[in-house]
Amino acid sequence: MQPDRLSTTPAAPSDGRDVLGIGMAGYAFMGRAHSQAWRTVDHFFELPLRPRMAAICGRDPDGVERAARRLGWAAWETDWKRLVARDDVDLVDVCTPGSTHAEISIAALQAGKHVLCEKPLANSVAEARAMAAAAEDAAANGVRAMVGFNFRRLPAVALGRQLIAAGRLGTIRHVRGAYLASHMVDPDAPLVWRLRAEEAGSGALGDLGAHAVDLAQYLVGDRIAGVSALAETFVKERPLPGGSGGSGPVTVDDAAAFIARFRGGPVGVFEATRFATGHKEGLRVEVNGDLGSLVWELDQLNDLRYFDGTLEPGLRGFRRIRATEAEHPYAGAWWPDGHVIGYEHTFTNEVRDLLDAIATGRDPAPSFADGLAVQEVLDAVLRSAAAGSAWTTVGAA
């Protein structure tokens, strides 16, 4: 199979808007999610630019061709450098393992291409800092970069941010974040790339915990300043993929837990694990202030639980706000009031915001600088755990 061969996907008709050609690196889980977003966004939002799914990239020629045809891409490549160099690609969407995020993203930004990069931003603080610097340089020339923390784009989460920013919770005292999963409970599960530090950077901490850290910092509008942490790898060795009969070492954490202090004073407790038997995608964030509290959970992603401590005692209690009304963030673009949205909609909302930022010349959020802030927390957690849970300043390395 030859790369760059056109598929049978027809081009969308011109409507007078400028076209933004999208090129995507990677076509597995996140590649599928992002493809659905690019296919859908122009059908539900009034956009200033018309995205065109120009080309997708993957190392396996047959696999990437099948992905291009199935997911709706007009062409395919087997080398990300050719993807970045294409004249019909204006934005590069990076959905590859973390070990390649920095190289692809920096090259794309230096080539004048906008970038959307999946989370976590990189495998190390050094890589994340280089990416944030490249994004800052590119922004001076009108080139934008965003990191893909998709859960920010849920109406219930965005509503929670609005309530906190408006002072409805008062002075923030506590933040709790957890992502409980059971992906690797089976000790015979193979040694996939997510279990190798050279490919993934970290384990449950970066894969799952990064979401809890970003949501916490986003919701309270503050950054974590220091941590005390522990991490554990429960299954030290696993079978190699492909049924070869061999095995290899697991070089990332299976679980991590830490306490934290935010710059503005709140204290936090965080946990991320792939060994919470019975939990699938148990992401949960809670914020407590002196005037109220809120709770958001992924398994009830349309709902925000809110406690108003200013009510008279007899009327107090957590109440559920179902964020499905047109007045709620993002919700009005989708279905009639009361109809829920799902996981896939977060990515569509995400690319909508990126397209709007590009068209209006604004820096998108979360930026690469925001991604770096999360990476510095992850790094501090691992350094603290390696030092016997010693208190560790974020960003000091």
Which pLDDT tens digit goes with each residue over 235-250? 999 999 987 789 999 9
Peptide bond into 190 cis (omega under 30): no
| DSSP-based three-state secondary structure for 77 | strand
Tell me what the mean pLDDT of segment 122-138 comes to: 97
Report DSSP letters for 282-330, one per residue.
EEEEEEEESSEEEEEEGGGTTEEEEEETTS-GGG---EEEE--STTSTT
* Alpha-carbon span 11 to 131, nearest angstrom: 33
| DSSP-based three-state secondary structure for 109 | helix
Q: Hunting for tokens 């390395």 — which residue is that? A: 397
Look at residue 4 in the predicted model and tell me its pLDDT: 53
Look at residue 396 in the predicted model and tell me its pLDDT: 81
Report DSSP letters for 362-383, one per residue.
---SS-HHHHHHHHHHHHHHHH
| DSSP-based three-state secondary structure for 197 | helix
* Alpha-carbon span 190 to 250, nearest angstrom: 10
Given a contact cutoff of 8 angstroms between Cβ atoms, the answer to whether 221 and 232 are in contact is no
Look at residue 2 in the predicted model and tell me its pLDDT: 44
pLDDT at 13 over 70: no
Look at residue 10 in the predicted model and tell me its pLDDT: 44
Q: Hunting for tokens 């291009």 — which residue is that? A: 68
Strand ordering across the sheet containing 392-393: 319-322, 303-308, 292-297, 282-289, 172-180, 267-273, 255-262, 224-232, 392-393
Look at residue 314 in the predicted model and tell me its pLDDT: 96
pLDDT at 3 over 70: no
- pLDDT, one tens digit per residue, over 305-363 is 999 999 999 999 999 999 999 999 999 999 999 999 999 999 999 999 999 999 999 99
- pLDDT, one tens digit per residue, over 295-319 is 999 999 999 999 999 999 999 999 9
CA 40 to chain centre: 19
C-alpha atoms less than 13 angstroms from C-alpha of 6 in its C-beta half-sphere: 5
- pLDDT, one tens digit per residue, over 97-111 is 999 999 999 999 999
pLDDT at 216 over 90: yes
Tell me what the mean pLDDT of segment 259-288 comes to: 98
* Alpha-carbon span 275 to 291, nearest angstrom: 35
**DSSP H stretches of helix in the chain:** 29-44, 61-71, 80-85, 101-110, 125-139, 155-165, 197-200, 204, 210-220, 343-360, 368-386
* Alpha-carbon span 211 to 218, nearest angstrom: 10
Strands 237-239 and 282-289: unpaired
| DSSP-based three-state secondary structure for 51 | strand
Look at residue 397 in the predicted model and tell me its pLDDT: 74
